Each structure stands twice: as C-alpha cells, then as structure tokens.
Structure 1
Amino acid sequence: MNPIEGHLPTRSPLHEILAPSGIAVVGASSDPTKRGYKAMVGLIKDGFRGAIYPVNPKADLILGVKAWPSIAEIPGTPELALICTPAASVPGLIAECGRHGIKGAVILASGFAEIGGEGAELEREMMAQAEAHGVRVIGPNTSGVFNLHHHLNLLALDNVKPGDVGIISQSGNMLLSLALEAQYNGQVGFSTYVGPGNQSDIGFNDYLRYLGEDEQTRVATLYVEGFRDGRKFLEVARDVTAMKPVVVYKSGSTEAGQKAASSHTGALAGSYAMTVDLLRQAGVSVVHRSDEILPVAEGLGLLQKARGKRVAVISDGGGQATIASDRLAEAGLSLAELSEETRQKLRDVLFPQASTVNPVDVAGSTDANPSLLATCMEIVAADDNVDSIFLVGMFGGYSIRFAESLLGDEMRGAEAMVDLSKATDKPLVIYSLYTPIKPPALRRLHEAGIPIYSSIEQSVRVLRALGERGDYLQLCEQYPREPALEPKPELGEMFARARAEGRDMFEYEAKQLLREHDIEVPQERVVRSDAELAEAVAAFGEAPLAMKVVSKDILHKSDAGGVKLNLVGEAALRRAREEILASCRAYDAKAEIEGVLVAPMAKKGVEVIIGVIRDPIFGPVLMFGLGGIFVEILEDVAFRSIPLSRHDARSMVEQIKARKVLEGARGEPAVDKESLVELLLTVSRIADAYPELSELDLNPVIVNADGYAVVDARVIVEREPLNENVKESAA
C-alpha cells in the first residue's frame, strides 16, 4: 500500500527510474580511474538483478559484460541511463536516450549552470532535449544514485547496508560521511540515495515525494544547500511528514542577497532563520549540526514520535542526571512530574537514598543488580505523565566496571528493555558511557531497534525531535489552516490604481485595506490644505495627535524628519506641518508630497512588527517580532508560510525571545495575546487574497491589555504580474 495514499494525488514517476529493471551505463570503462568503471563494479558486486548495458564504441566487453557501441544498438529498453561522459556530449546523448525509450538519465558531469556562461547555455540545451524526448534528468553535476534494496549501487560504495533511511544530499562528501558513520554505528542502513546536483529537472520536492511513497523508507533525510522551488517543497513536506519523519540539515543563508530590500520585512526575509521556521512549520525536523543528522534520522526512523515533550530520566549517576536535565530544558523539553504512585513503586525497589523525583537517581541500587534499571523503566513507562524515557549512565558496562559475573544480569535487563519497547508506545532512548566499545547488552538493545547514543546531547536532540513530531501531528489535526478571504473589488481597484501610477500604496490606503477586513486601525485624516487641517482639529479636539508625511517617494518617514508626535491644538499642528514639509523637501527636493496624515496617538503598550514578503523561493511569508526602529538589529522575529493555521499564529507569538515582554515586564500588564493572534491570522488571509500585495509592513503595532492599534502601515505593490516560475536560490 502507498504509505501516503490520500495525501499525494499520483504516484511519482521516479519509482521506475530509481528501481529500474535495466540500466545503460554510457561511458562504461575498464579503466579503474573512471566513473564508468566504478559504476559497473557497483552494479556487479551488489548483484543488480536487472539487465546491464555498458555503452562504449571501443570495447566488446566491460568487466565481462557485453558492451554496445551506442544507445541505439542496445537490444532492450532500460528505464535508466547513467551518463559518465563529458558535459559537451550530454545533450546529444539525452536525445538518443529519449528516442530509445529510456525514461531517466543520471548526469555525472559538471560544467553546466554551476559555472555560468557557456555551461548555463549547455544546461539549457540539455533540458530542451530532455523535454522534447520525455527524459527525466537527475543532475547534472551529481554524485550519483543508489537503491540498496534493489541492488542498484552506482557509487560503488562498500560496506553500506540496506535499511530504512533515505538520503538526498547535495554534497557527495556528506553522503560518504553518513555512510562511514553508519558503518561505525553498525545498525543504520539506507534505502535510497540521490545527489540532486543542479536540479535542472528533478528537485528536492520530487525526491521527497518519492521517499514519502517508498515502502522501504521510514525516514527521509536531506542535506540541502539550495531549494529550487521552496513553496512546492513545503507542500510536499506537509504531506510526507503526516506519515513519516523528515530530517533536514540546511546549510548557508542568503542574507547578503537581501541588501537591496526596501522594507524591514524584506531585509529580514530570505535568511537561514526564515528557512528553518518554514521547514518546522511543515513538520520537518531541522538539525543544526552535521553530527546530529544520522542520530536524529536513526531515532526518528526507529521510534517515529513521542506523545509530547515530557521526559522521565533514569540515571545511575547524579552528575549525568543533572547534565541531562540541563540539556532537556535547553531543548524545550520538560521533566515529567511523576505521580505519587509511580514514586512509591520506585521507592519499593530502590535503596532509601535513591531520589524518586525526576530525574530518578538510583544512587547505587543497581551496582550489583543492573537489571533493576529495566524495572525502573517499566514503572515510569506506566505513568500517564510520561511521554518518553531517557536512560542515562553506564548500562552495558556494569560487568566491565564492577564484575564479569554481572553480565548475565545485564543481558536479562536488556531483554526486559526489549520487551518493554514492544509493549509501550513511549520511546526509550539510551545514553551509555560504554557505547563506543559496544558491550553485549548494548548490542542486543541496538539490534532490537532501541537507539543507543554515546552523547547526552545527541540523545536529547533525538528526544526533542520525537516530542516535536508528536506535538506537530496532534496540532495538525486540531488546527487546519484558516479559510481564505474573499477579495473586495474596490480594494483590487486601489491596487490597480497604485500600480498604474508606478507607486506603492499611501499609508492611508494601506490602512483602508486593513480596515475593510476588520483590522482595528485608528481613525485618521489626510491633510492637504489649511482648511483640512482645521477640519482635523475640529474632529479630534484636544487629543494628542501624531502627524506623518504622505509621499510615494519617502519610504522611511522618520529618517526624513517626516514624523511629529504628541501634538495638541491647531497652532501645534500648523507648526508641525510646516516643519515636516520643510524637512522632507530638504531630505529629497524632488519628492512628491501629497500632504500629511493626522491621527490620535496610540495608547501605551508594546511595539511589535507584522510583515509580509513574497519570497522568490518560498512564496508569501508572514513575519512577527518586536517592532520599532531596532527590529533589523535585534532580528528577534518568527516566520511562517502563508496561509497560517491558528496554531501557527500562536506559535509565532511564543517563539520570539522577547515573549516575556508581552507577558508583562516590570509591573506592566500582559498584552492581549488572543487579539494579536487574530491580527496575525487576518493579515495572513489578506496576503493570500491579494496577490498584488508584494510586501507589507505594520510597524509599529501597539499591543496592550485592551488589544492593539496599527500605528503605521506600508504596502508595496507588485509592479508586474506575478511570475509563478520560482528559480533556484540558496535560500
């Protein structure tokens, strides 16, 4: 059965390509230094069960297999061709593949778009031939492919065992590193590997979809330098993560590429932090260290998820119990509060000096009876307050540390832990000092599918991934994405008018857009003349007022001296208007100034920023953080892909480091978070409803115990019709 049937509409065509019944090796060679030789060795040594067609016009046999002078002369029709020849020959060979009915080609050669100029033109020519002849392309500039369950090993890697970890990596060296790490681990095996290379045709979203459907893959693991179509990847990731874990290590960022951005949101978008937020929103487990990739993939592949983030720690050493507690707290996990019944059962089996408050410290109780650790694990596993169990210490090494006679008891303890792992849905994760030497009890646990780690930090990273995945799956069911807004024709006309005049929305127009969709915006007046100024005074009375310049040419009003605050009375307003106009003309003599905007001062509160950007890789993205003039310096912001769910909005508010300010600091009352959540959701829906909205900045929004007030609003209008073709970037 298709593991994600009902989530993806059709079966990926990559199944035929990556599990072929026949393969042509174009450029097959008897020279051990050539990739065409190594590929033949890999196929033969791994016992590829299909037909192998070496293609070489100068050889009759390659490693004992009959060779053919050209693709056209191959007697059969393999699904896949591995092209090992130089870049210049590739477009013609792709055409030959298509004419012969070959459905996919793996292009090893470099020298294409990654070098620019002639290489980019060569890649365009290659893709023209591929599209004309119906050939799907892996690469070019790829390290290769393997499908170990199908005995397809085009990399000729030794000592890689079949397993359930699927790997897509833009770095061949990273794949080699993971393969060597798996060899040392002894239990981790791989299903499929693909190096996507330049992604000229098949991209990360295609490969992830394939791994999601592949019955041999329990966890998809990706090393990513750049997405070609990030929005499509997020869509596929939501479908796949609903059924199996996805682990991503994302390298690099594109902050340098944002220097020309004209808004706060634009300046902050495109960052590594944004990419991480969007991946997590789609249920992806993001790791930040290369040495976490395989441990997290193994743990998620074996254990899949935890119900939540409450961890019970059982330790035979107080120091390591403390370290584990520290690392768990830093990872956003909590120590489960054990019930009194659980603690009494622990007291019944442990020495009086043992601590039964989580973390549980057995305090020497297990020195002569290590299987007692399994008993403790069984006791805490029965507690409804516990989501996962973390054994910390020296299990597996008691017979080494104390007496060889304890080996039998350790093995009995290991068998009891294996039985417990089968009887409970709560993950068991084990850190042991003795992991590097692989004593018998730890080997038994590992062989039975219980992950064993040599570092507390790696163990905690796995526990975090399990807890986050469990939470994500529950929240997906509870909080679907919010329904779309119906765009209003008159607002569409306002966008069209701004575009026709070659400008962005004036602030009062941006606020009208918000107001028409029930966002609370203070009343205001545009003042273009002395008469309108008098009308504003009559309308607002003696209330303190703010005044801001209205100009399509002045983007940052404060920098131009275009803002005056706390103005009371007609005289103050007239003087402020004159000063603003003078300052702005001095700032930019050519600026067209329509007038000034007058509005009541907002009540005291916390300044936040809400922004929208249409990222070239990920599409529309919402940003939230503390506002004001320091937002770009502090960069304490959260991002989510639009449209949002209610949980997405709440999690943005809880994610920022300065969230305690929102909860009330130094005696100030807490802000109305629910009204803030509603505001985030409505802004998301507006951005989704109006594709003409290129960027939006609400900065600041003043939030307090009574709600919020949008003090300043800016909408950047899309100048040209939106281009749906998203190009590759290292975002």
Structure 2
Amino acid sequence: MEKILANQVCASDPAHDIWKKQRHPLDCIFRPRSVAVIGASEREGSVGRTLLWNLIRSPFGGTVFPVNPQRHSVLGIKSYTDIASVPEMVDLAVIATPAATVPQVIRECVAAGVKGAIIISAGFKEIGEQGAALEKEVLAEARKGGMRIIGPNCLGLMNPLAGLNATFAGTSARSGNVAFISQSGALCTSILDWSLGENVGFSAFVSIGSMLDVGWGDLIEYLGDDPHTHSIVLYMESIGDAHAFLSAAREVAMDKPIIVLKVGHTEAAAKAAASHTGALTGSDEVLNAAFRRCGVLRVHTISDLFDMAETLAKQPRPKGNRLSIVTNAGGPGAIATDALISGGGTLSELAPETIQKLNQFLPAQWSHHNPIDILGDASSDRYAQTLEVVADDPNSDAMLVILTPQAMTNPTQTAEKLKSYSKLGKPILSSWMGGAEIAAGTEILNQAKIPTFPYPDTAVRLFNYMWHYTYNLKGIYETPSLPVDSDLHAPDRQLAERILAQATKSDRYLLTEYESKNLLAAYGIPTVPTEIATSDIEAVEIADRFGYPVVLKLHSEKITHKTDVGGVRLHLEDAAAVTRAFMGIAAKVRAIDPEAFLGVTVQPMVKMEGYELILGSSLDPQFGEVMLFGMGGQLVEVFRDRALALPPLNTTLARRMMEQTRIYQALQGVRGRKAIDMAKLEQLLVNFSQLVVEQPQIREIDINPLLVSADGMIALDARVVLHTDEDIAQRPIPAITPYPTKYVQCWQSRKGDRVTIRPIRPEDEPLMVQFHQSLSEESVYLRYAHTVKLTKRIAHERLTRICFIDYDREMVLAADYKNPETSEHEILGVARLSKLHGTNEAEFALIVSDHYHHQGLGTELLRRILEIGKEQNLEAIVGYILNSNDPMQSICRRLGFKLQPDPDEGMLKATFVL
C-alpha cells in the first residue's frame, strides 16, 4: 500500500522547527561563535575602536579577534596582522577599513573560511560608478566562498537576546520580540535612543546598508523562522530584489506582522532616497500594490511603525472595519469618528439587543447610538458594564474606550476595572486623555496588553491600519470563486503566440487593432467582431453583412492613435456613408504617410449603454508587469480613477483590485442602472492577467474602452506594444511567480484512469477538504507521525499553506481526476516540495487517498517531484519516513533515495542527491 509519510516545512507542522534543527547561513552573522574586527583601532572616537569595545563589553559568548597590521594589541587584546593569522576559525568578520581595501579583505576572509561579513565602510555605489564597480568586485570575491554580507555603508547589527553588539552605536538595544531593519544607519541610532526611553525591546536590530548581498527577503525569511521574533518592522528607502522581498514577506506575514515605513512617496523624497542609497526608487503606487499583494502593512510615520508593532503584539486583528466607541465626553467621540471615517473605517451600528441592554443601566441621557457617550459622570463600573455589553455586539469588530478625567470618573480605578477585558476575542484600544492624572491608569492598561494612546484620533488611526492589514491578508488567502475546471477558461495560447510571432517576424513592435483584438479573444476576452477591408467595395460588403450602423477605423502598422489622424468614423448608417468614410480616411492618412494606410477595419456600432473602463498592463523596472484597472474613455487621465495590482490574479484579487476604485460602486448599480455581472468582470481580469504573464513579448497593453453593462462586456479598442529583442533580454523578473503550466501533465493509472497531475491552485481548497475526508486514520498517522483531527486538517488557515503557495519557494502537485460518473473533480493524491531556508535543499511530503492505493500514483508523484528538483538545480531532496512505513521506503529505494536512521527524528531519513 502506498501510505506515505514525509514531513513538510510549514507552520502547521510544529514538530518541524528549522530554527533549532539546522544552522542557517545567516547564523554566522546573527549568532557567531567568533568575531574578527578588521580595522580595529585604539584611536578615540574611531569606528574601529567603538566596534571592538561594543563586542567585548557585550557577553555574546564568543571570542573577539582584533585585526590591525600596525598594532600588537588593541584595547589590551592581542591583535593579528591579517585574518589568516587568527588561530581559530572565524564565523563573522566586521570590516571597518577604507572602501578601496575591502575587496582584498574579503578575498582573504574567503581564503580563511569566514562565512559572514558586516561591511561598515562607506564609499561604494552611493558615491557613483567607481563605488559600484568596487561592490561588484567585493560580491564576486564573496561568492567564491559562499560568504554572506550585510552592508556596506551600514551601522552594523545587534542580536540583543544573544548579547551581540556588532555596531558602532553608542548604546546597546534592550532585548524584546520586535525585529527592526533599517537602510538608514543614522535612523537606527535615533530609534535606539528612543527605544531606551520607551522601554521597547528588540530580537534583532539591523542596519542593512546598501544591500550588496543580504537583502530584505533574506532577513524577513530568517527572522520569520526565529521563534523570538513576533513582529518585523522595516525602514525602507529602496526595495532591492523585489521578487525576493515579496516572496519572503508573503510567506511570513500570515504569522508575523511585517510593518514598513517606506520613504519616497513624494517625488522629492524619492530623489533624496535614491541619492542616499545609490538605488532607483520605483513608482509609489506600484509599491502600495506590491505591499497589498504580500500582506505587508505600510505606515507613514516612525511613531506608527512601533505603535503598530506594539498594538498587533497585544491585540488580535479585527475581522472588519466596524468600530464601537465608548466615551465619557462627546467631543473626543466626534474627533474619533472623523478620524475613523476619513481612514475608511465604519462606525458599527448597535444591534437592537445591545441598545436594550445598555438602557437597563445607563442614564436616560446616554447617546443611544455609536459613539456610545456614557456621560461625564461615568464611574468605573459603568465603563466596565458598557464594555462587556458592547463586546458581545455582533456588528462590532473592535472597541475604542475613551476617558477624559472628570470629577466623577477615576482614570486609575477605571483602568483596573477594564484590564480584565483585554482578551475579548476582538481588539480593544484605549485613549486616556490628560497628563499626570491619567498616568497610573495608562500604565495599568499597557501592562494588561490594552494599547493606550493620548489622543483618540491616534488610536483610530491605528485601528484603521489594523483592519487594512486584515483586509490585505484576506485578499491573499481568501479562496477564489473560479470554477476548478480549468477547461472552462483555457486560453488558445498557440493562437496568441502565432499573432505575436508574425508581428516580430515583420520587425513590427506595435500590433494592429485587428491583431490586438484577436490576441484578446485568444484569452477569452470578448471583442467586437472586426474584419479588414482593403477597398471601399470590400468595406461595404462587410458592413452589409454585419448590419448598420457600423464603425470604420484605420488599419495601419505604423499609426498608433487613430483619432489623431482622423482614422475613426462612427455611426455609418448606409453603404454611401461607408464609402465616403473609407475614402476620407485613406486620403487623410496617405497625405501624412502613403505607406501607413493598409485599409480599414469594419465593425458593428455597439449600441450597448454602460460604463467605459480601462484595463491595461505595463512594465515596472522593479516589479515587472503591473496591471491597471479603472475608469476609461477619453478622460482617463483627467479623472485618474485607477487601481494597480501585480499579476497573475485570481477572482479574489481581481475583486480587491476593483474595490480600490470609485467606479467600483457604480458598477454594482446606481441611479436606476442595473448592476453588471461582477463575477464575469472578475473572470475577465483574471484572463487578462494570464495573458500578461504568459506572453512575455508584450511590453504594454491597453483595452480602452472596455464597455461594461448589465447586458454584457466588450473590448471596443486595444493597443499592444511588443518588446524589441534587446528589450526582452533586459526585461525585469516578474515579482510574482506565475502558475507553472509546464508542470501540467496527464498520467494513466494501472487500471486505466486518466489523471491530470498539475500544480495546486488556491481554487483547489474545497477539493482538498474532500481529499482529507477520504483519508483513513492509518494514512493520516503514517503521514504526520501522529493523529491529526479532520477539523484541524481542513481548517482554512492550514489549507492556505498548501493551496496558496509561492511556486518559486515550493511546489505542490495534485493528482486531479474527473469522475466520469459524477463529472466532478477529485484530488487523489498530493506531493509537496518545500525548499529549506538557507540551503539549496528541499523536503518532500506525499500522501495518496486510501481508495487509490496500488495504482502507482505515489511513485509517479514522487518521480515528478524529483524532476522539478533537478530542473531547479537543487542539491538534494530529503524526507522522513516512519520505520513501520515499508511501502514508502520501497518507493524511495526504487527511485534512488538513500535511507538511513535519523536519531533526532526517530525515523528514517530518505535522501536523494541531485
């Protein structure tokens, strides 16, 4: 029987803890056993002296070796002339020598076996081409020995929990559970000073510098695995490797908040940041779309950065944007309401039963609506009773309690009463307004994990951030509504490729309207029936066939904007009008360029009334393809009602993209107009995103207008620009790895069933629920090495780890079988390949439905996993198998795995060296 077990790397398997199990390559930087300070100095106030002093006064448990060829000792410690002279193996080199010397220093460190370096030195790409060339030389030397580098041009790094201070800061950070990463060393010192006064502690404190090697993605991944880090906050000037950032952030954000303060949302700030870091800063709108796509929360002030980290550490995320406000003063309640509505939040509407309960103990003069004004004489008991009732209101997602110190209201007693409500299942925030009189109450609330703020609008701003964070995560992990049957929406890829190949073969990089519409039609995007006419007689024949009125448009391979040259004629009611229009277009265009006129396109005049939308895509230098959706037509640049998103999309992401626009509300029906078919529009956006990611020859594409109404939707015009051969070679890597269609293959079982083995999709979650329902307890035990209840296995939070994957980081293959009796799809087996963080190895997991054992499916799934591992240039694939699981052991041996006992896991470790 093919009952299969192999652990997988994911949060749903707590027994597998990478952080403890293996030494990560960045451990040599964060948890070194020995450190060499290259450039250590005795000179007062020098960077080299401060670095050495900080390392020796902090008990990180390792040995410190000063390296200085001019001195026998530094600060009383024996010094060495170079890294090769150090008598022990060094994990981390902290380099504070002139930039020009750093390539040689790195070369010597690699030769000495050093695996990590922090380059403090400045004078690299931030100074121009000469510095950039130095960086390339440094990186080339480091790559020879697999060395990882933080910096250059940075303050250094602290691991307060381990006692490591490898910086030249004046003080050490307190230990805590917030990881702080900054591109600005100067900001690091300011934050460090602020944190000591605010008693904020850190699990890691990193100045990342210009990110020559280690970037955001590396650190987010590493700290995401760190059990001591509960949230990650970033000060960002440039994003660096966009793909690595999004991939790591998306994986970590579900478990740990990632909060970013990204400067450069104004043009002046963007230029300043680029000058400071030596990197180009991309479009801020695109960045916002990227942050939404990976679940990162963006804030706009330093205080919000840490307030959000604290708030999310103390309180759960709200499920929605409805806030209930309890206050003893009307003014602060009104201030909070304004801030809430301005930020997109909503005042919760009190349920009738809530009002009835409040009426039983509140004075008759209470507000009887939200904000809930319980009056200036509110006692601590009145506050507590009110909060208890409001917490149960089904219309409320969170609560804000405001207190102003009045004669009958005791801030300290009220805080004492409220501290027991810190774990209501809904977030609770507070605003104790005042000075010394409310200080004791504020301390009580903070200790009880109820975040408190001096002003109610500040508290509301934090709540708005919180629900936006929830909203973004839901958009990523909400199960899409697209039918599982991919045949329903399969594009004609061969037709699309022929159209593009024909254009490039003719050295054309602008498709004609006719070609553009056929390209859209190949991906299921409805277009107006269109035919080409090269003469006025042919134009009349086509118009007669379509029926009047018709539209004539210039057909040209040279002219893009047809209206600019009089190349569009509308409402042509008869043959004579068609003839005149043809002659008029021909004469006007030939006068400009005789070779530009190739005829006209003829198409029916669409009579449908509706909304004109724009749907397009262009390239961002950092993120690759970026989609645009919004209000279209001739005034598209005037209204600028648009939203951006990174493709590919699913139906959930398509809806979230539309929700960012003002036109979205109108599409749902206003002023007597019927709503359009939103599900159909979502699918159209999904198809368009598929076109964009699957056809890399496309540089820009616009559908404007896309006409939509309750009667249907149709692309009236389209413009497609292609890459030149030179451009496509420099095309940026897409930030989001698209669905890997190349791994979709058919397979036949031993009994003759035809099964499609394909990468899993978010839409497969319902099928995965059914799959787990088909598993016996024995199969579950063999897979997980312990029993796991069905309710836990099919929980949405767990299945997102399997269905909503980053295809670059892992691969899940599902055996999809369409039952001929029911015409329903079933998943018969699942194989998973998960890359191990910090290595070039991966771990496999595999399980087959009980009713499909003995069909060779387990062997086939594992064979294909091995093929994917080879294609991705992995060094090895491992898995862990129970000693009693003979069938799985047999499959592994048959495919070439080496099996050996693993004493740490108490089972067999199967290893396949690629």
Q: Is the 8 A contact 1:3 1:215 kept in 2?
A: no
- AA in 1 matched with 2:422: S
Tell me what 1:648 maps to. Answer: 653
Shift of 1:99: 1.4
1:625 corresponding residue in structure 2:
630
Judged with a 3 Å threshold, the aligned counterparts in structure 2 of structure 1 residues 326 and 410 are, in CA distance, closer, same or farther, namely: closer
2:254 counterpart residue number: 242
| Contact preservation (8 Å) 2:540, 2:579 | no
Instruction: Report the counterpart of residue 262 of structure 1 in structure 2.
Output: none
1:389 is aligned to: 399
- Cα distance change on mapping 1:584 and 1:479 into 2, 3 Å: farther
- Residue 160 (structure 2) pairs with residue 171 (structure 1): no
**C-alpha contact 2:536 2:583 (8 A) present in aligned 1:** no
Name the residue aligned to 1:51.
63
Cα displacement (A) at 1:485? 5.0
> Which position in structure 2 is the counterpart of 1:601?
605
**Structure 1 residues 437 and 622: alpha-carbon distance in aligned structure 2, compared to 1, 3 A threshold:** farther
Match of 2:350 in 1: 338
One-letter amino acid of the counterpart of residue 387, structure 1: D
Pick from 701, 704, 713: which aligns with 1:699? 704
Residue 82 (structure 1) aligned with residue 83 (structure 2):
no
Residue-by-residue CA offset, 1:239-262 (whole Å, 9 max, x unaligned): 111111111222225989x9xxxx
Report the Cα distance in structure 1 between the residues aligned to 2:544 and 2:88, rounded to whole angstroms: 89
Shift of 1:669: 4.1
* Per-residue CA distance 1:681-722 (angstroms, 9 max, x = gap): 111122232222222110111111212110111222232345
Query: Shift of residue 28 of structure 1?
Result: 1.3
SS in 1 for 2:616: strand
Unaligned runs of 5+ in 2: 1-7, 271-280, 736-914
1:231, 1:619 within 8 Å by CA — same for their partners in 2?
no
Equivalence map 1:203-352=2 (5 Å): 203-252=215-264, 271-352=283-364
* Equivalent in the alignment of 1:501: 506
Which residue is equivalent to 1:264? none
Partner of 1:584: 589
Q: Is 2:689 the partner of 1:684?
A: yes
> CA-to-partner distance for each residue in 1:159-196, whole Å, 9 max, x for gaps?
6322222122222233334334434433x322212222
Question: Take 2:316 and 2:95, find their aligned partners in 1: how far apart are those partners?
Answer: 38
1:481-492 correspondence to structure 2 within 5 Å: 485=490, 488-492=493-497
Following superposition, the deviation at residue 518 of structure 1 comes to 2.2
Residues 1:420 and 1:238: Cα distance change in structure 2 (over 3 Å): same
The CA distance in 2 between the partners of 1:613 and 1:199, in whole Å, is: 27
Secondary structure of 1:392's counterpart equals strand
Q: Which residue of 2 aligns with 1:465?
A: 465
Structure 1's 84 and 413: CA in aligned 2 closer, same or farther, altered over 3 A? Answer: same
Q: Is the 8 A contact 2:624 2:734 kept in 1?
A: no
1:162 aligns with 2:170: no
CA distance in 1, matches of 2:104, 2:324: 62
What is the rounded CA distance, in whole Å, between the counterparts of 1:616 and 1:254 in structure 2?
18
- Cα contact 2:89–2:114 (8 A) shared by 1: yes
Of the three residues 26, 31, 34, the one matched with 1:14 is 26
Q: How does 1:187-206 map to 2 (within 5 A)?
A: 188-206=200-218
Equivalenced residues, count: 702
Aligned to 1:372: 382
Query: Residue type of the partner of 1:676?
Result: L
In the aligned structure 1, how far is the partner of 2:469 from the partner of 2:546? 53
Cα distance in 2 between the residues matched to 1:169 and 1:245: 16
Match of 2:544 among 538, 560, 570: 538
Show CA shifts across 1:221-245 (max 9, x none).
Answer: 1122222222332222211111111
**Deviations 1:613-670, CA, capped at 9 Å, x for gaps:** 2323112222101112332343321111111121211122221134344345555444
CA contact 1:87–1:112 (8 Å) conserved in 2: yes
Q: Is the 8 A contact 2:220 2:248 kept in 1?
A: yes
Q: Tell me how far 1:330 sits from its aligned partner.
A: 1.7
**Which residue of 150, 153, 156 corresponds with 1:138?**
150
1:330-366 deviation per Cα after TM superposition (whole angstroms, max 9, x unaligned): 2222222223333333333332222242211111232
Q: Is the Cα–Cα contact under 8 Å of residues 553 and 567 in structure 2 kept in the other structure?
A: yes
Query: Counterpart in 1 of 2:440?
Result: 440
Q: Distance in 2 between the 1:500 and 1:37 partners?
A: 64
The offset of 1:138, in angstroms, is 1.2
- Matches of residues 22-171 of structure 1 in structure 2 within 5 Å? 22-153=34-165, 154-158=167-171, 160-171=173-184
Distance 1:89 1:338, change over 3 A: same
**Counterparts of 2:162 and 2:357, CA distance in 1:** 50
Deviation by residue 1:473-513 (Cα, 9 ceiling, x = unmatched): 44544325977956522321221221222223222112112
CA pair 255-569 structure 1, distance change in 2 beyond 3 A: farther
Tell me the distance in 2 between the aligned counterparts of 1:612 and 1:467: 29
Corresponding position: 1:421 with 2:422: yes
Q: Distance in 2 between matches of 1:713 and 1:10?
A: 50
Unaligned runs of at least 5 residues, structure 1: 259-268
Provide Cα deviations, 1:564-594, integer angstroms capped at 9, x if missing partner: 222222222222223223333445x375332
Answer whether contact 1:552 1:592 (CA < 8 A) is retained.
yes
Tell me what 1:718 maps to: 723
1:419 CA displacement: 2.1
Q: Which residue of 1 aligns with 2:890?
A: none
2:714 aligns with 709
Contact 2:18 2:225 in 1 (8 A): no
Q: Partners of 2:382 and 2:65 in 1: how far apart?
A: 59
The Cα RMSD (Å) is: 2.9
Distance 2:308 2:590 in 1: 59
The range that moved more, 637-646 or 27-36, is 27-36
Indicate how the Cα distance of structure 1 residues 15 and 556 shifts in structure 2: closer, same or farther if over 3 A, else same: farther
**Deviation of residue 305 (structure 1)?**
1.3
Higher mean C-alpha deviation, range 131-140 or range 488-497: 488-497
Once the two structures are superposed, what CA deviation does each residue of 1:446-499 show, in whole Å capped at 9, x if it has no partner?
Answer: 233322222333312221232233344445443259779565223212212212
Identical pairs, percent: 35
Change (3 A) 1:532 1:448: same
2:18 and 2:525 mapped to 1: Cα distance? 41
In the alignment, the residues of structure 1 paired with residue 203 and residue 216 of structure 2 have an alpha-carbon distance, to the nearest angstrom, of 17
Q: Distance in 2 between matches of 1:141 and 1:106?
A: 9
- The whole-number CA distance in structure 2 between the counterparts of 1:37 and 1:672 is 69
Kindly provide the CA deviation profile for residues 186-231 of structure 1, in whole angstroms up to 9, marking residues without a partner as x.
3x32221222222221222212212222222211111222222223
Once the two structures are TM-superposed, the CA of residue 94 in structure 1 deviates from its matched residue by 0.8
In structure 1, distance between residues paired with 2:324 and 2:561: 52
CA contact (8 A) 1:693 1:717 kept: yes
Higher mean displacement: 314-323 or 108-117: 108-117
The answer to whether the Cα contact below 8 Å between 1:26 and 1:83 also exists between their aligned partners in 2 is yes
Decide whether the 8 Å contact of 2:543 with 2:550 is kept in 1: no
> What residue is the counterpart of 2:872 in the other structure?
none
3-state secondary structure, aligned to 2:32: coil
Partner of 2:855: none
Higher alpha-carbon deviation: 718-727 or 381-390: 718-727
What residue is the counterpart of 1:516 in the other structure?
Answer: 522
Per-residue deviation, 1:523:
0.5
User: Which residue of 1 is the match for residue 900 of structure 2?
Assistant: none
Aligned equivalents of 1:658, 1:615: Cα separation in 2: 25
Superposed displacement of residue 10, structure 1: 7.7
Give, in whole Å, the separation in 2 of the partners of 1:155 and 1:437. 40
Q: Secondary structure at the match of 2:555?
A: strand
